[in-house]
Amino acid sequence: MMDKLNLRTFAEGYPGKLIEQDPGISFTQVAIDSRKIFSGGDTLFIGLKGNRLNGRQFSDEAHLAGTRNFLLSQETPDTNWSEKLPGANIFLVENPLDALQQLAIWNRNQIRYPIVGITGSNGKTIIKEWLGQILSHQYRVGKSPKSYNSQIGVPLSALSLESYHQIGILEAGISEKGEMEKLNRIIRPELGIFTNLGTAHDENFTNAEEKLIEKCKLFSGSRYIIYRKDQKAVADYLEKNRERDKLISWSEVPGSDYTLSVKNDDAGSRIVLIKPDLDMFTFYTAFRDSASLENLRHVIVACLTLGMKPHAIQKGIATLRNIDMRLTLKPGINRCNIIDDTYNNDLAGLEIALEFMGLQRQSGRKILILSDMVQAGNEERIYQKAGKLVGHYGIDFFIGVGERIKAFGEYFGEKAYFFRDTSHLLENLQDFKLEEDLILIKGARKFYFEEIVKKLEEKFHGTVLEINLNAISHNFNFYKQRLASGTKVMVMVKAFAYGGGSAEIANHLQSLGADYLAVAYADEGVYLRQKGIRLPIMVMNTDVNTFHLLDEYRLEPVIYSIRIFNELIHYVKNHSLFPSVHLELETGMRRLGIDRDALQELASLIHDYPELKVASLYTHLAGADEAVHDKFTQKQLQQFSDMCDKIIAFLGYTPLRHVLNSAGIIRYPEYAFDMVRLGIGVYGVEVSGREQSSLQQVFSLKTVVSQIKELEKGDSIGYGRKGMMTEKGRTATIAIGYADGFDRRFSNGRGYVLIRGQRAPVIGNVCMDMTMVDISGIDAKEGDTVIVYGENIPIYQLAENIGTIPYELLTNIGERVKRLYYLD
């Protein structure tokens, strides 16, 4: 929330056309999503232009929510605004995003307290969160919610900084050249932190140096820049290009401003600080992994630079706990679904969590369990705003935990219950008869809400498949961007969405704006409908036994032969139904499809039964991912095009035409026709091999170490005694086997897993429910997390090792493996 601003004041300094119908009104906050407006009167609605949508389209909705200030794109012909948005002030500009950024710059210029700006390849969000937590023991801190670090996220975060804060912390991320200059103007950090420079190859930069230079633009004008001297490229660049007195370096070893060396022990780690004046201090932390320890040392140096004393910093570090920062959707007891967000609790975070909740399918009640808010500012105003949010998002049932929230209980409506602390709630939890409800659990760390989650979540054995919904969004948008703007996207969610869980993923795709879904068999479509999915669903392999499901569940069958067409007609006539159908054309896949020489017959059937509306025509490419098949692919495309023309001629209208699968979108974007069929790519695997680094990892399959054994040279391991210790060493038994989808072909060293970041090869044969891996030389402990597929363990390589393809590994992940969905 910012100081009151009036559109005219802003328009004076920014080019555009102002239509004023009520010059008196002002705003104190901005919204870019009309569904999220809950205090319309104080809001400026900004209609951003996206890939597919222009936010302008939603101005009616925003008006309905009470908004009377609009910043929209100028379009021709102009609208009659007094009719469309009566009583509102409208500022029409060429580029609304640029105007939003300008507004953020304006707000930044009002701020007199220091801002910390964080950039780098990894750790930005963690450093921001930890720094915020430790500093908040001493200062009133404002910071960006979650990882809001983009061209849109940064200005929105900057606009949430208020006059009562004493320090602001914002993170900045870029994906291409030219972006950081804009972010720099919005953040203008007094203190900059460069976290580190990853080695990941980045499409939009010629080389790592160019990326480094771009990132460092965040610090132009900064008074101090914190970096790690052991990061050689970063140190070299900054030391050559910035004045010495601005640089604050730290390192493992002497030679920089702060030496921060680490010693691991069983309880955690000690970080020994030696300051420039040789003063020493030892910090203690429970973290042992190198990423956390690097992040923590950046935080320590930042706190010291901002004037905190070492023992005060230590107090803060002691309260950091390694719990999940992510918003996670997981199955709960009694068929409930749980949204777990037990990391922090402020208004911005609450809003994000409620919005996420709003996007979920739901059968029972919407329940919110909320602790006292941890946020600086006018307490009453904060709870009042929280109450408004709760009302806006239609919570059916509210449970508040803590003395403060109870004191402001009046703001949370009638169906609100309050407990003084978490243990009190836990004792009474069974009274709420939770069943099939959607429960958002959101609390500040000190309330230990993970205890509530533990009690309510479904119990499971140690193996989980984590699905990163943000990565699905990223991948979806990546493919979307490669297509002309009108091209529709059908997403393949067959085979349980390639193993990920079709209902949750379909639901997410629905919110991303996918146009169509496709499944292989009717029962997959029925399941999606039962789970509340509303998008049109195409069923590829229909048969006569499932026709009765089509109408009830609004499924659209594929007609792939004259036989199935006749059978469908027969059924439709008897039941007087008029379904939309899709025609699959045979062009060379030789799986399903209507042959070219059957077109005559097809024409006469269509002529006789015009009530069957043809929604689309498609064919499937047999070798879209490989250049060796290019000629064949061209022939398929040509033949498809010819067949389409003929069919359209006798049909008399033009259905959607579609050919491309994921690899096809990359390799033949010029043949996108009206729609594409996106599959494996949205799940993070780029099978043409060209663009893997542009996609984000969606799936992480994780399990745990159940037992560790110290073995002698010559000891055999597992069934058939196939594993053999060639030296004295150690094995770990992990809780995953071929029944969970860990392929038996991974036996005897063909597969490996990651434990503590190191590769542990499979030793002996994979068993049904367990596997033994060689951990000689790895400092592993029982209970450690094991990464089976995920970051740093590319699934296409594993697949290649055993002569299969990523599709098979993903779709084989067993049903008993619990799926967790999160936003990071």
Residues 6+ apart with CB under 8 A from 563: none
Q: Nearest-5° angle of CA 568, CA 572, CA 575?
A: 145
Min dist CB 494 to ligand PLP, Å, is 6
Helical axes 124-135 vs 310-319, angle rounded to 10°: 120
Structure tokens at 553: 């569940």
Buried b (16+ CB within 10 A) or exposed e, 701-738: bbbbbbebeebeeeeebbeeeebebeeebbbbbbbbbb
- The first and second tokens of residue 801, run together, are 């090792």
Find out whether 822 and 698 touch, Cβ atoms under 8 Å.
no
C-alpha closest to that of 291 among 614, 765, 756: 756
Rounded distance, CA 434 to CA 332, Å? Answer: 10
Contact between 677 and ligand PLP by CB under 6 A: the answer reads yes
Provide the H-helix boundaries in 721-805.
795-801
Q: Which of residues 411-450 bind ligand PLP (CB under 6 A)?
A: none
Residues 503 to 532: which contact ligand PLP by CB under 6 A?
none
What is the amino acid identity at position 499? G
Size of the site for ligand PLP (CB under 6 A): 10
- In the complex, least distance from residue 816 CB atom to ligand PLP, rounded to whole angstroms: 25
Q: How far apart are CA 805 and CA 263, in angstroms?
A: 43
Is 617 near ligand PLP (CB under 6 A)?
Answer: no
User: What does the alpha-carbon distance between residue 180 and residue 183 come to, in Å, rounded to a whole number?
Assistant: 5
> How many whole angstroms separate alpha carbon 660 and alpha carbon 474?
19
Binding site, annotated residues:
591, 768
Distance set, CA 517 to CA 271, 485, 528 (Å):
52, 19, 10
Judged by beta carbon, residue 443 or residue 681, the one nearer ligand PLP is 681
Interface stretch with ligand PLP, choices 125-133, 637-645, 660-668, 768-776 (CB under 6 A) = 660-668
CB of 207 to ligand PLP, least distance (A): 31
Beta carbon of residue 809, minimum distance to ligand PLP (angstroms, whole number) = 13
Contact, 31 vs 56, CB < 8 A? no
- Please report how many Cα atoms fall inside a 13 Å half-sphere around the Cα of residue 253, on the Cβ side: 2
φ, ψ for residue 400, nearest 5 deg = -105, 140
Q: Is 494 a catalytic residue?
A: yes
CB of 536 to ligand PLP, least distance (A): 16
Whether 553 is catalytic: no
> What residues numbered 489-508 form the site for ligand PLP, per CB under 6 A?
492
Nearest alpha-carbon partner for 2 in 155, 140, 218: 155
Beta strands in 24-121 (DSSP E): 29-31, 43-46, 69-73, 89-93, 115-119
620 binds ligand PLP (CB under 6 A): yes
Catalytic residue among 366, 480, 488, 494: 494
Nearer to ligand PLP, 445 or 620 (CB): 620
Between residues 697 and 765, which has the closer beta carbon with respect to ligand PLP?
697
The Cα 496–Cα 693 span in angstroms is 25
Q: Which is nearer to ligand PLP, 249 or 662 (CB)?
A: 662
83: how many CB neighbours lie within 10 A of its CB? Answer: 7
Q: Which residue has the tokens 């370096």?
A: 249
Q: What is the Cα–Cα distance from 751 to 726, expressed in whole angstroms? A: 18
Q: Which is nearer to ligand PLP, 325 or 799 (CB)?
A: 799
Residue 258 CA to residue 255 CA, distance in Å, equals: 8
Least distance from C-beta 538 to ligand PLP, angstroms? 9
Residue 667 makes contact with ligand PLP by CB under 6 A: no
Q: Please identify, among the stretches 162-170, 348-356, 440-448, 659-667, the one whose residues bind ligand PLP according to the rule CB under 6 A.
A: 659-667
Least distance from C-beta 601 to ligand PLP, angstroms?
Answer: 23
DSSP state of 16: S
- Taking the C-alpha atoms of residue 188 and residue 195, their distance in angstroms, rounded to an integer, is 17
- The token duo for 222 is 């900064």
For ligand PLP, the closer CB: 192 or 806: 806
Q: Considering only residues 661, 694, 731, 765, which one is a binding residue for ligand PLP as defined by CB under 6 A?
A: 661
Least Å distance, CB 670 to ligand PLP, is 18
C-beta of 329 vs 493, nearer to ligand PLP: 493
Interactions with ligand PLP, residue window 678-707 (CB under 6 A): 679-681
Q: What is the chain's Cα-based Rg?
A: 29
Rule CB under 6 A: say whether 651 interacts with ligand PLP: no
CB of 111 or CB of 589, closer to ligand PLP: 589
Q: How far is the CB of 627 from ligand PLP (least distance, A)?
A: 16
Sole window of 120-128, 139-147, 566-574, 657-665 interacting with ligand PLP (rule: CB under 6 A): 657-665
Q: How far is CA 360 from the centre of its chain?
A: 14
Q: Quick check: 662 binds ligand PLP (CB under 6 A)?
A: yes
624 vs 755, which CB is nearer to ligand PLP?
624
For ligand PLP, which residue has the nearest CB?
A: 679
List the helix and strand counts (H, then E) for the chain: 27, 38
Enter the tokens of residue 444.
């500040």
- The token pair at 534 is 């509303």
CA distance linking residue 327 with residue 349, whole number of Å: 10
From residue 563 to residue 602, what is the string marking binding to ligand PLP with x (rule CB under 6 A)?
A: ----------------------------------------
What angle separates helix 208-216 from helix 232-241, to the nearest 10 degrees? 50
Place of tokens 């989980």: 464
Nearer Cβ to ligand PLP (293/805): 805
Binding site for substrate: what residues are annotated? 591, 768
CB of 663 to ligand PLP, least distance (A): 6
Query: Rounded to an integer, what distance in angstroms lies between the CA atom of residue 128 and that of residue 118?
Result: 7
Using rule CB under 6 A, residue 377 touches ligand PLP: no
Closest among 91, 84, 92, 96 to 55, alpha carbons compared? 96
The residue (of 168 and 806) whose beta carbon lies closer to ligand PLP is 806
Question: Out of 713, 719, 722, 728, which one is annotated catalytic?
Answer: 719
Closest contact distance (angstroms) between CB of 705 and ligand PLP is 33
Please list the active-site residues. 494, 719
> Which residues sit at the interface with ligand PLP, rule CB under 6 A?
492, 540, 620, 661-663, 677, 679-681
